[in-house]
């Protein structure tokens, strides 16, 4: 006999087991890269997204599935990393909307909720690509939804969902030629299959454990001695809540969150993060007067959750002061000590650590936005796998006008910083200048292959070096320097300026050899070199 409904407690165990299954197989998912480079991070990104979700509900003892799903979605959206992680967070967010208000869910309820997940996931991507996680989730949901009825069990729903997810995953190679050529299935879809396998295991009593890098309960214990009867409130209260809008108080469909945002600013609120999902509004604010915030917002609805924490004791008394408010600031993503320092010298107010193998979350961006404290913030993600998380953070942040420029490489970020003029009054002109500059940049990445592969008509063997230029394999050779030179031989003849960032694995002898060969081979090019200190890529090359 199976279960005909699932409540919050069982759903928690399923989600924990799903995260555990992905944790056990994260490296397998990482290795499913189209390019055989040692920087696969899809498995890690999806796992961190899930962990953000499960950590958010660990202290919630409710047996209402809608309440557990709400905490899970909130944590996943803030913790989302990489494109697959952001899409997964939107799947979770959609499912949460479908489970809203429910104590238990039937298979038919799950069918409706999962369809919401499909809607949210597809709407999160400007140009959805089939043959990816999106396809795997959509087809699995459609198959399960079409084959359950009033007599079906929860086990039936997830068994059907998993069956089609596995089938759709294998078919991704037929939908996307680049996957077939590389001999791999879609990594995001593979990660999702592991999650569903783990969830189903929990349903049949084989729950998988998930471990965290640090204890969530003990390590976050507060020291109340930090605020005594003689202390003065300086930092205020971290106030967070989810507000369910009420029809008897406001026009729910037409309600504009600017009403709340403007009020929070008027009372000196800081670190404002606010977003609306149909009839629910999620708010985060730092304020000296949480009572005023609560009273104001209760005019519009009632609270589903509410948390107020004294920030003096919240983080062991360590609270970083912000820079003075400025008109324009730049937040850039980079990895490697040399690149980070260079970006700061070029005018980046805050450099978020990340890139390939270490994608920052939406929450990381929001922290950076807080630090720069500006009316307008230009964001340079500098990695195609960071773009969605930065856009998700933009949608959630209310303290500033945030502009995400779609820089997809460190090289584009470098050029973007070189043209930013903080004295320029017109932000639209500023963005236009940046976008125009990065269009003229060719980005070459040189690294070694972790498996045999054939891509773009070139065959590379495990251990050989390869150059990837703007997403295409362009050169293969036995060492990094010769590979870089071969790649530069096929660049546009109209280009004039070459900028090179040396990786930390390229020794001094090889660096000297590159510069000598470059000078002999390309006497008409202007060369600039920097010690980038980046991992994985021996050389990052910008061609302008």
pLDDT at residue 509 is higher than 90: yes
Average pLDDT value for the chain: 88
Say what the pLDDT of residue 223 is: 53
Region 448-477 average pLDDT:
90
Q: Which two tokens stand for residue 150?
A: 């009033």
Cβ atoms < 10 Å from Cβ of 115: 17
pLDDT at residue 238 is higher than 90: no
pLDDT confidence tier of residue 314, bands split at 50, 70 and 90: low
Is the Cβ–Cβ distance between 208 and 17 less than 8 Å? yes
Say what the pLDDT of residue 321 is: 55
476: helix, strand or coil: strand
Domain 6-203 carries which CATH code?
1.25.40.340
Region 368-386 average pLDDT:
92
Say what the pLDDT of residue 322 is: 58
CATH 3.10.100 fits 442-543, yes or no: no
% of the chain at pLDDT higher than 90: 58
pLDDT confidence tier of residue 124, bands split at 50, 70 and 90: confident
Question: What torsion, rounded to 10 degrees, do the Cα atoms 501, 505, 508, 514 define?
Answer: -50
Contacts of the segment 107-113: beta carbons below 8 A, 24+ positions apart = 107/4, 107/148, 107/149, 107/152, 107/153, 107/154, 107/156, 107/157, 108/148, 108/149, 108/150, 108/152, 110/6, 110/144, 110/148, 110/154, 110/157, 111/141, 111/144, 111/145, 111/148, 111/157
pLDDT confidence tier of residue 318, bands split at 50, 70 and 90: very low
Minimum mean pLDDT among 91-105, 227-241, 396-410, 470-484: which range? 227-241
Say what the pLDDT of residue 215 is: 38
pLDDT confidence tier of residue 120, bands split at 50, 70 and 90: very high
Across 72-76, 180-184, 311-315, 358-362, the highest mean pLDDT is recorded for 72-76
Say what the pLDDT of residue 323 is: 65
For the chain, first and last CA: distance in Å?
66
Which residues are within 8 A (CB) of 494 and not within 5 positions of it... i.e. 6 or more apart?
A: none
Structure-model confidence comparison of residues 213 and 276, the more confident one: 276
Beta strands in 196-310 (DSSP E): 237-245, 270-277, 280-287, 301-310
pLDDT confidence tier of residue 286, bands split at 50, 70 and 90: confident
pLDDT confidence tier of residue 368, bands split at 50, 70 and 90: very high
pLDDT confidence tier of residue 250, bands split at 50, 70 and 90: very high
Summarised one tens digit per residue, pLDDT across range 180-198 is: 888 889 999 999 999 999 9
Q: Which two tokens stand for residue 260?
A: 């709340």
- Asked if the domains 6-203 and 235-314 are classified in one and the same CATH topology, the answer is no
Minimum mean pLDDT among 285-289, 407-411, 489-493: which range? 489-493
Summarised one tens digit per residue, pLDDT across range 20-51 is: 999 999 999 988 877 666 667 889 889 999 99
- Please give the C-alpha separations between residue 398 and each of 257, 269, 282, 310, in angstroms, as whole numbers: 10, 11, 12, 22
- Please give the C-alpha separations between residue 415 and each of 37, 290, 437, 466, 468, in angstroms, as whole numbers: 25, 44, 7, 24, 19
pLDDT confidence tier of residue 464, bands split at 50, 70 and 90: very high
Q: In CATH, what is the architecture of 326-439?
A: 3-Layer(aba) Sandwich (3.40)
Say what the pLDDT of residue 347 is: 92
Say what the pLDDT of residue 496 is: 84
pLDDT confidence tier of residue 227, bands split at 50, 70 and 90: low
Domain parsing of the chain, residue ranges: 6-203, 235-314, 326-439, 442-543
- Please give the C-alpha separations between residue 96 and each of 64, 90, 245, 305, in angstroms, as whole numbers: 12, 10, 17, 15
Report the candidate in 216, 191, 278 with the shortest Cα–Cα distance to residue 56: 216
Minimum mean pLDDT among 48-57, 129-138, 352-361, 389-398: which range? 352-361
Q: In CATH, what is the architecture of 235-314?
A: 2-Layer Sandwich (3.30)
Summarised one tens digit per residue, pLDDT across range 76-95 is: 988 888 889 999 999 999 99
Say what the pLDDT of residue 186 is: 93
Q: How far is Cα 385 from Cα 379, in angstroms, rounded to an integer?
A: 14
Minimum mean pLDDT among 330-339, 446-455, 464-473: which range? 446-455
**C-alpha 345 chain-centroid distance:** 26
HEC readout, 349-361: CEEEECECCECCE
Region 52-67 average pLDDT:
90
Per the listing, tokens 């039937």 go with 106
Report the candidate in 110, 108, 89, 98 with the shortest Cα–Cα distance to residue 46: 89
pLDDT at residue 316 is higher than 70: no
Region 532-538 average pLDDT:
91
Say what the pLDDT of residue 131 is: 93
Structure-model confidence comparison of residues 58 and 276, the more confident one: 58
pLDDT at residue 158 is higher than 80: yes
Q: How far is Cα 391 from Cα 50, in angstroms, rounded to an integer?
A: 19
Q: How far is Cα 379 from Cα 390, in angstroms, rounded to an integer?
A: 8
Summarised one tens digit per residue, pLDDT across range 251-265 is: 998 999 889 989 998
Say what the pLDDT of residue 195 is: 97
């Amino acid at each position: 006999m199976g279960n005909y409904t699932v409540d919050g407690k069982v759903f928690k165990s399923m989600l924990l087991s799903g995260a555990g299954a992905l944790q056990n197989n994260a490296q397998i998912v990482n290795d499913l890269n189209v390019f055989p480079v040692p920087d696969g991070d899809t498995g890690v990104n999806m796992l961190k997204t899930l962990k953000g979700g499960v950590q958010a509900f660990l202290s919630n003892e409710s047996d209402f599935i809608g309440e557990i799903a709400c905490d899970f979605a909130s944590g996943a959206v803030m913790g989302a990393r990489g494109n697959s992680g952001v899409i997964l967070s939107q799947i979770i967010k959609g499912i949460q909307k479908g489970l809203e208000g429910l104590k238990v869910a039937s298979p038919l309820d799950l069918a409706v909720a999962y369809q919401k997940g499909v809607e949210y996931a597809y709407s999160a991507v400007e140009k959805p690509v089939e043959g990816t996680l999106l396809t795997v989730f959509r087809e699995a949901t459609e198959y399960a939804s079409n084959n359950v009825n009033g007599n079906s069990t929860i086990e039936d729903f997830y068994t059907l969902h998993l069956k089609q997810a596995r089938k759709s995953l294998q078919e991704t190679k037929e939908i996307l030629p680049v996957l077939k050529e590389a001999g791999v299935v879609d990594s995001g879809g593979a990660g999702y299959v592991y999650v569903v396998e783990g969830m189903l295991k929990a349903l049949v009593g084989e729950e998988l454990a998930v471990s965290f890098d640090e204890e969530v309960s003990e390590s976050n214990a507060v020291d109340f001695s930090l605020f005594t009867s003689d202390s003065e409130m300086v930092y205020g209260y971290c106030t967070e809540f989810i507000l369910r809008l009420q029809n008897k108080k406001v026009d729910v469909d037409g309600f504009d969150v600017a009403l709340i945002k403007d009020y929070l600013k008027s009372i000196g609120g800081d670190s404002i993060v606010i977003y609306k999902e149909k009839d629910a509004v999620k708010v985060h604010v730092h304020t000296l007067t949480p009572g005023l915030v609560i009273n104001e917002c209760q005019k519009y609805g009632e609270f589903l959750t509410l948390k107020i924490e004294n920030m003096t004791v919240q983080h062991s008394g360590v609270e970083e002061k912000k820079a003075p408010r400025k008109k324009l600031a730049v937040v850039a993503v980079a990895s490697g000590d040399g690149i980070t320092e260079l970006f700061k010298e070029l005018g980046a107010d805050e450099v978020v650590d990340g890139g390939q193998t270490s994608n920052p979350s939406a929450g990381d961006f929001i922290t950076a936005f807080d630090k720069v404290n500006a009316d307008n913030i230009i964001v340079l993600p500098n990695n195609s796998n960071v773009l969605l998380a930065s856009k998700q953070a933009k949608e959630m942040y209310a303290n500033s006008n945030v502009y995400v420029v779609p820089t997809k490489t460190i090289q584009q970020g470098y050029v973007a910083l070189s043209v930013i003029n903080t004295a320029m009054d017109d932000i639209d002109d500023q963005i236009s200048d940046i976008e125009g500059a990065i269009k003229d940049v060719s980005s070459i990445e040189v690294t070694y292959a972790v498996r045999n592969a054939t891509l773009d008509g070139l065959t590379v063997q495990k251990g050989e070096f390869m150059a990837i230029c703007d997403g295409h394999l362009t050169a293969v050779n036995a060492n990094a320097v010769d590979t870089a030179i071969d790649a530069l031989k096929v660049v546009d003849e109209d280009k004039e300026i070459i900028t090179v960032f040396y990786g930390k694995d390229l020794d001094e002898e090889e660096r000297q050899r590159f510069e000598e060969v470059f000078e002999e081979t390309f006497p008409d090019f202007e060369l600039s070199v920097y010690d980038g200190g980046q991992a994985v890529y021996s050389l990052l090359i910008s061609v302008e």
